[in-house]
Amino acid sequence: MSGARDDRGGQRPPERGADRPRGPRGPRARSGQRPAERTRTGDPARFTAYTVLRSVDEGGYANLELPRLLRGSGLRGRDAAFATELTYGALRWRGLYDAIVVDASGRGVDAIDAPVLDTLRLGAHQLLGMRVPSHAAVGETVGLAREVNGAGAAGFVNAVLRRISERTREEWLARVVPPGDGPDALAVAHSHPEWVVRGLRSALVGHGVCGPEDVAGELAALLRADNDPPEVTLVARPGLVSVADLVDLGARPAPVSPVGAVLPAGDPGSLAPVRDGRAAVQDEGSQLLALALAAVPVDGDEYDEEWLDLCAGPGGKAGLLAALSVDRAFLTANEISPHRADLVDQALRAARSAGARVEVRVGDGRDVGEDEPGRYDRVLVDAPCTGLGALRRRPDARWRRTPGDLADLATLQRQLLTSALDAARPGGVVGYATCSPHVNETVYAVADVLKGRDDVEVLDARDAVQEVAPGIELAGEGPHVQLWPHRNGTDGMFLALLRRRP
């Protein structure tokens, strides 16, 4: 049943009838508060979370928008933590909350205005995913709705949230999750699009983690890990700052990366080494890829090497490579986007000050192999991808991507890897990396590019990664490396190491 819209674009409460949300007082679902007690406006933390969700719906990125809005609003401490949990929790569990909203309202998500639906997602997370008393979750969210969606929409939000509050999270799961353990059920229970669930299932089998007969347990563990908010991981860029220095500032050594540190609490931007670029926020998996590429031997005489980061933006891996290149190599950081190239340049300033020889340039990575054939000793291709391995850090990515993105990205990934191999000198090494385990972006991409090429040798990336991180456990038989959030505690990074034959 489609509801009428009020003059502010919101939804009026459902008409009296079978599909009207019913609260404890019956079909009218009256508020339990007297008018004078009802919140008239939303508080700054909830308003900030709502603003981020609206930005994401319009194409923005939560990891960029939220810090900017927190700074602008002056939210700090517990208020900032509340806004952060509310934002990411509502994004992370959007799929489940939408199913609950549909049941509680009697309307499909397409029949609810997008801004009102975002408000309902925020209210649902407070009720089912946070320790917010029901009366506060409903009252404050209705106040937010009155402010941002209009009075008519606020009544609808009040009715729906009151009905949601009548059941626990477990009771709602039992009500809205389809029966069985198929992809449709997992998609709702773990709040992933169904195509992503299917893709991750194929990835676990394709990378040799398990067989089809026992993939169910691994898949459920992976989906749970995607919904487990990770701690902040820092990289201590070698020669610029040490892990011990970061430990002195409140971090602890990371469990996997030898140059990693975990910051259990606080704003990483408040740390001097992060502010001046000697350290940075970076997942351990990303650190290991750069370390492995820099450590694998290249054929040829000893001389200053030339390194290339083919898709360098926004600069995290380039910053680590630059630190590793001091007294070893000249690093070229290539990026197609001028804005992202500026970010790369900022990421390399500290390494420059320490003596790194680096150049940041704007260019299409697909052209480098033809323009500079056989020039580089080490090439990193951190290819654009769906980001399905980093959903725990960027939950909005699961709703941003579509199956159609795979085809476009697959073409680009293969073109970039071909260009990188052409740009590598005989005896040089190419590292192909993605932050997605999807087989079409990883093993199939490498296999497609190597068809018809007899000038490339596939190296065992497992040896290289275990050399820089001896304690790490790697699933599968290689020769490529696929990391997993539920097994390694890192993002789902993939690495293939390829050598141009001398």
The rounded average pLDDT for each run of 10 residues, N- to C-terminus, in the chain (502 residues) is 35 34 36 41 88 96 94 91 96 98 97 98 98 96 96 97 98 97 96 98 97 95 96 97 98 98 92 97 98 91 86 97 97 97 97 97 98 98 97 95 94 98 97 98 98 95 97 94 97 98 89
Q: Is 149 helix (H, G, I), strand (E, B) or coil?
A: coil
Taking alpha carbons only, the member of 358, 381, 356, 352 closest to residue 368 is: 381
Helices (H) and strands (E) in the chain, counts: 23, 12
Pick from 60, 66, 61, 59: which is nearest to 45 by CA?
66
Cα R_g (the chain), whole angstroms: 25
Instruction: Give residue 96's identity as a one-letter amino acid code.
Output: L
Which phi and psi (to 5°) does residue 437 adopt? -90, 0
DSSP tag of 267:
-
Question: What pLDDT is stored for residue 502 in this prediction?
Answer: 85
Q: Judging by DSSP bridges, how do beta strands 232-236 and 329-335 pair with one another?
A: unpaired
CB-side neighbour CA atoms (13 Å) of 340: 16
Q: Name residues whose C-beta falls within 8 Å of residue 37's C-beta, 6 or more positions apart in sequence.
A: none
Distance (Å, whole) CA 448 – CA 465: 24
Cα–Cα distance between 300 and 297 in angstroms, integer?
A: 9
Beta-carbon contacts of residue 451 (< 8 Å; ≥ 6 apart): none
Q: Is residue 478 classed exposed, middle or buried when 0-12, 13-18 and 19+ CB atoms within 10 A define those classes?
A: middle
H or E segment at 22?
Answer: none
Cα atoms found within 13 Å of the Cα of residue 497, Cβ hemisphere only? 26
- For 264-273, the CB contacts below 8 A with 24+ separation are 264/231, 268/232, 268/234, 271/234, 271/246, 273/236, 273/240, 273/241, 273/245, 273/246, 273/249
Q: How far apart are CA 188 and CA 98, in angstroms?
A: 9
Q: How far apart are the first and last CA of the chain?
A: 68
Predicted confidence at residue 8, as pLDDT, reads 29
Whether residue 165 contacts residue 123, with contact meaning beta carbons closer than 8 Å, is answered with: no
Handedness of CA 266, 269, 275, 280 (dihedral sign): positive
Q: Give residue 452's pLDDT.
A: 83
pLDDT at 293: 98
Rounded (10°) CA dihedral 48, 53, 59, 64: 40
Tokens of 80: 């900032």
Q: Catalytic site residue 435?
A: yes
Whether residue 162 contacts residue 127, with contact meaning beta carbons closer than 8 Å, is answered with no
Give the pLDDT of residue 356.
97
* DSSP per-residue string spanning 89-119: HHHHTHHHHHHHHHHHHTS-GGGS-HHHHHH
> Dmax over Cα atoms in the chain, in whole Å?
83
Determine contact, residues 333/315, Cβ cutoff 8 Å: yes
Q: How many residues does the chain have?
A: 502
List the one residue out of 333, 233, 332, 334 whose CA is nearest residue 280: 233
Specify the pLDDT at position 302.
Answer: 63
Phi, psi (rounded to 5 degrees) for 270: -80, -10
Q: Which residues of 261-273 are buried (b: 16+ CB within 10 A; e: fewer)?
A: bbbeeeebeebeb
Task: Give which of 264, 256, 261 is closest to 237, Cα–Cα.
Answer: 261
**pTM for this model (two decimals):** 0.89
Supply the DSSP string of 280-297, one letter for each residue. EE--HHHHHHHHHHHHS-
* Residue 267: per-residue pLDDT: 86
Q: Return the bridge partners of 497, or none.
A: 431
